[in-house]
Amino acid sequence: MKQFKVVFTGLSNAGKTSILKVLDKQFHRLANMVPTKGVERSLSTILGFPVTKWDLGGQEQYRQEYLSPKSKALLEADLLVFVVDIQDWNIYDKAIEFYKRVLERLKENNENPYILICFHKADPEIYENYKKNINDLIKLFDEASKGLDYKFFITSIYNRRSIIEAFSYGLAQFLPKKKSMDYILKNFITDAQQSGEKVSGVMLWDQNAYFLNMVFSDNKTENASLTASMGILDIIESFEAAGSFQSLSMEVNNEYQFLTKKIGKLYTIIVGKGLDLDNVWRIYNKYYLDNLEEIIEKKLD
């Protein structure tokens, strides 16, 4: 089966290992971080696929090694996450310099993985003060990334959602099946609306709480759903820790209803207003069971 490779790189102290700890929910490991020695690999299974995360220690001697022709650390990646510490403006130049060298290494090998650039350590309480710096960084990285597939994210370990969103976006760029799942979820929304249910979105999370799919009929629903998602996640995790989680129905501001259900290994969240629970799940199951599960179970070579 295809193995997927996600590379985390950037200067030392940028926050790469911390981001990985947040993704793996190892919050207790966030205190007393030490610089990563060389390459550390960790394997997760996402949507049934083996995804190996490569954490490339960013100290000078290691960076030289990754850039040398004999190293494959930066190569054969499906996703490259480049992390920049926005709080350390003295080394912006050094960060962009390394970024360019990484791109050269990829170009030499005719590789173009999807690139996420994380402007990291944008902690909620200081973010406003760094807006100008971030804009300057965006210009520099835009300039360096011409012709490539990339996207910027503004992240902080104190805002877990920012990290999950960035990583989920990255996953969606290379995990197969994503397009067909999108298609099915969109059909579900249309079908539910036609049967009189005010469904305006669906989210699909895996057991690691990565967003696998999100389909919304408008931006307002999307914003509300993302805002609610961390709260929903906390409830799911608390119940999972205490035994098991099955379903949750939540209403916010008389405006949004969030219906969550665990089906197989996935959590499904249906967003809408004044929904008839039984009817909505009946319509959803019709599509989910027949199509989504089949897509997820089917092994690809």
Ligand X SMILES: Nc1nc2c(ncn2[C@@H]2O[C@H](COP(=O)(O)OP(=O)(O)OP(=O)(O)O)[C@@H](O)[C@H]2O)c(=O)[nH]1
In the complex, the residues that contact Mg ion under the rule CB under 5 A are 16-17, 36
Which position has the token pair 């490259």?
Answer: 80
Which position has the token pair 């009946």?
Answer: 282
State yes or no: residue 170 binds ligand X (CB under 6 A). Answer: no
Q: How far is the CB of 15 from ligand X (least distance, A)?
A: 3
State yes or no: residue 162 binds ligand X (CB under 6 A). Answer: no
State yes or no: residue 225 binds ligand X (CB under 6 A). Answer: no
DSSP state of 147: T
Residue 173: CA atoms inside 13 Å, Cβ hemisphere, count? 21
Q: How far is the CB of 153 from ligand X (least distance, A)?
A: 12
DSSP state of 32: T
State yes or no: residue 157 binds ligand X (CB under 6 A). Answer: yes
- Report how far residue 104's alpha carbon sits from residue 100's, in angstroms, rounded to the nearest whole number: 6
State yes or no: residue 229 binds ligand X (CB under 6 A). Answer: no
State yes or no: residue 120 binds ligand X (CB under 6 A). Answer: yes
- Report how far residue 214's alpha carbon sits from residue 268's, in angstroms, rounded to the nearest whole number: 10
Q: How many residues does the chain have?
A: 301
113 binds, among Mg ion, ligand X, none (CB under 5 to 8 A by kind): none
Piece of 31-39, 224-232, 247-255, 280-288 that binds ligand X (CB under 6 A): 31-39
- From the number of C-beta atoms within 10 Å of its C-beta (0-12, 13-18, 19+), residue 254 rates as exposed
Per-residue tokens: 140: 């520099």
56 and 183 Cβ atoms separated by less than 8 Å: no
- Report how far residue 204's alpha carbon sits from residue 216's, in angstroms, rounded to the nearest whole number: 12
Is the Cβ of residue 16 or residue 262 nearer to ligand X in the bound state?
Answer: 16
Of the candidates 7, 23, 36, 153, which one interacts with ligand X according to CB under 6 A? Answer: 36
- Report how far residue 88's alpha carbon sits from residue 163's, in angstroms, rounded to the nearest whole number: 19
Piece of 6-14, 90-98, 166-174, 210-218 that binds ligand X (CB under 6 A): 6-14
168 binds, among Mg ion, ligand X, none (CB under 5 to 8 A by kind): none
Per-residue tokens: 190: 């249309």
- Report how far residue 195's alpha carbon sits from residue 29's, in angstroms, rounded to the nearest whole number: 48
Q: How far is the CB of 16 from ligand X (least distance, A)?
A: 4
- Residues 41-60 binding ligand X (CB under 6 A) are 57-59
Per-residue tokens: 180: 């067909």
State yes or no: residue 18 binds ligand X (CB under 6 A). Answer: yes
Is the Cβ of residue 123 or residue 293 nearer to ligand X in the bound state?
Answer: 123
Of the candidates 46, 145, 150, 156, which one interacts with ligand X according to CB under 6 A? Answer: 156
Is the Cβ of residue 16 or residue 105 nearer to Mg ion in the bound state?
Answer: 16
Residues lying near ligand X in the complex (CB under 6 A) are found at 10, 12-18, 33, 35-36, 57-59, 120-121, 123, 156-157
